[in-house]
Amino acid sequence: MNCKSFLLLGLALAAVACGQPPQKTSDIPVYLDDAQPLEARVDDAFSRMTLDEKIAMVHAQSKFSSPGVPRLGIPEVWCTDGPHGIRAEVLWDEWDQAGWTNDSITAFPALSGLAATWDRELSRLYGKSIGEEARYRNKTVLLGPGVNIYRFPLNGRNFEYMGEDPYLAGEMVVPYVEGVQSNGVAVCVKHFALNNSEANRHVANTIVDDRTLYEIYLPAFKAAVQKGHAWSVMAAYNLYNNQYLCSNEVLLDKILRKEWGFDGVVISDWGGVHNTLQTAKHGVDLEYGSWTDGLTMGKTNAYDSYYLADPYKEAIRKGEIGTEELDARVKRILRLIFRTGMDRNRPFGSQASPEHYAAARKIGAESIVLLKNEGGLLPIVGNPGKILVVGENAVKMMTVGGGSSSLKAKLEVSPLDGIKARWPEAEVVWERGYVGDTGGEYNGVTTGQDLRESRSAEKLVADAVKAAEGADYVIFIGGLNKSDHQDSEGLDRIQYGLPYGQDDVIEALAAVTKRLIVVNISGNAVAMPWVEQVPAILQDWYLGTQAGHSLADVLSGDVNPSGRLPFTIPISYADNPVQTEAQYPGVPRDSTIDGMPILDMEYTEGIYVGYRWYDIHGGVLFPFGHGLSYTTFEYGDPHIDRHITTEDGSVEVTVPVTNTGRVTGSEVVQLYISDVEASVPRPMKELKGFAKVTLQPGETAVVTFTIDKDALSFFDARQHVWVAEKGSFRALIAASAKDVKGTVEFTLK
């Protein structure tokens, strides 16, 4: 039975129950007829609703759902975390697990890893796959992806985002959005906007100039909305212009809805709404997770006390606000429902399928970045003899924890198990090396691992060093984890260096073997004081279900590494652009807003975020866009076919790239633009294009980039327009932000 038939049957039964004759097919209301235009269906359904039904639709009825209109057969809206996999089911009013036995899913790589693939088609595969899992569980909205900019390396939630560059994040988010929504499931792009740290996220008022806002922090959201056609967006917790993001007139009304033409639903982050009137006028369409009037978070009797519930209706009754804003948000919610739950052509989806495992493995392998490979230590070929694996992260499950992206994975292959599976003939030995986090529980999901340790730190190091004697390869697998003050929601990191004394372990191993490979698992840059002592270094990520297999694929050369850094790794924390208290964590003020104490966080670094900063100030260990391969590539001279002759014209830059090595590999060719004659301060260069090409040994491909006005423009805050000034520009073809292969100049006349 299709969706239309089911709804008609339901309406017919309801009519019979009320003593009315059932409807005939010819009497189908417009809103139930999916052959009708979307807006006609929205208008028709809206015209049939009462004020109480409208008010009910704009706030939650449970932890993750809001009502539809039962009388009209319009279904509920069901949301789910998160961007890396579908969250386990929780109780109606609580965060605790519901105890289902069929909600174990595929854990996909964290979005920092997806961004590191620099591969738009892999992003589409990711979105399609995770969308199928959301659809299988009949979810309306997937709460992701996240595209907040990597502003500095202590943000605990950087692992959920797509790096430091707005162009890269914008290009990678669009196919993800399209892939998810092809399943009739809405994405919810988050966290809009300026949510670039976790400390004080509920009370931080961001102070940022308009040019920085438009050039750095909005482009990825704009791409998701205008190019990806995202159906929903999540408003952030923090403040901007002294207004909470869930009721922010500038970001939600003026920019998102009016400038960008967004016709979807804005959803609050859970507990992000703080008032009724301001939110009713300029704020979110759907309020989730609030706790009001002294009621504890998540109790059933709290829902009618939400800011957009009874207080909203009372404000309308008193004439404090009209119904125009309510009507608009209800129509947006109806539009979302017709695009998702009431689309009878919605595919069925699937969960934890072989296809999804294969997708996770492929994305994971192509995300891993080979940072260093001195002497060609990697790949490990043939029978490697004895492999010593050192480090807690070689065995620790990483799918549990980290905040709302925590998952209940049906399978998680550890790095150690992946290595053992790839080299069954080898002697693979594991030593712990250090003790990090012995826990493994989040909201009732547990890893089942017992990681308790009785040996001292000194003994652990000594045992690892002794085991390294005679090993053909020593692979240290460490980094961060999903614990508090590491890669985790709600709290930021408290140090740039590796925790748990890992540096001591690495240096001790480097002193006794020249065949040491360090694998750093994290969603953030970390200090590497031992970098000169270690011949091979890999940047790995939280890769989910197939983590161990993805890593083994790269270590063995079964997959030639092609990942590239989506952020800069500075030498030390002192080298990054965020240094003062005013920049982070902010300066407390004496006054409050909506009864909350507020601190001001100033983005005084302006547009100089990531490589834009390091290009001027230095301090780079591994640059943005960096990544090595098991083969070599040679770039020819870039060529422009013609000069720009009009303001709206464009030019094509071409460059030949040849695989000069012995194995097939993929190169990420990067295009940066430099404005030579700018009238305003501009970065030395900015990423404006990239292409990932796979080449056989000896094969050459000609890579073409189109440079248009958008690639040349800066945001003129005074005129509130994007401006491309006439004059000289340079197109830089590069393998990273520091490895420029060729430059060609052109003129905008």
Residues noted as catalytic: 269
319: left (phi over 0), alpha (psi -120 to 50) or beta: left
The Cα–Cα gap between 250 and 245 comes to 9
The Cα–Cα gap between 78 and 100 comes to 17
Burial of 596 by CB count in 10 Å (0-12 exposed, 13-18 middle, 19+ buried)?
Answer: exposed
With CA atoms as reference, report the closest residue to 151 among 110, 202, 193, 210: 193
376: left (phi over 0), alpha (psi -120 to 50) or beta: left
The Cα–Cα gap between 160 and 109 comes to 10
Buried-exposed string 343-372: b where 16+ CB fall within 10 A, e elsewhere: eeebeebbbbeeebbebbbbbbbbbbbbbb
* 569 strand-pairing partners: 622
The Cα–Cα gap between 402 and 159 comes to 9
Q: Kindly list the distances between the CA atom of residue 436 and the CA atoms of 119, 382, 391, 481, 590, in Å, as whole numbers in the listed order.
A: 33, 33, 9, 8, 39
The Cα–Cα gap between 707 and 712 comes to 8
Q: Kindly list the distances between the CA atom of residue 367 and the CA atoms of 332, 547, 562, in Å, as whole numbers in the listed order.
A: 37, 11, 7
In the numeric block, which tokens belong to residue 406?
């925590």
Residues in the chain, total: 749
* Per-residue DSSP letter, 254: I
* Per-residue DSSP letter, 368: -
In the numeric block, which tokens belong to residue 609?
């975020």
The Cα–Cα gap between 6 and 493 comes to 51
416: left (phi over 0), alpha (psi -120 to 50) or beta: alpha
In the numeric block, which tokens belong to residue 693?
């090409």
In the numeric block, which tokens belong to residue 16?
């019979």
Interacting residues of 235 by C-beta distance below 8 A, sequence separation 6+: 191, 192, 245, 246, 248, 251, 252, 266, 267, 268, 269, 272, 283, 284
With CA atoms as reference, report the closest residue to 527 among 554, 498, 489: 498
Phi and psi torsions of 26, nearest 5°? -70, -15
In the numeric block, which tokens belong to residue 584?
């982070």
In the numeric block, which tokens belong to residue 132?
């199928």
* 672 strand-pairing partners: 687, 732
Burial of 76 by CB count in 10 Å (0-12 exposed, 13-18 middle, 19+ buried)?
Answer: middle
Which amino acid belongs to residue 463? D
Q: What share of the chain is helix, strand, coil (3-state, %, to 5)?
A: 30, 20, 50
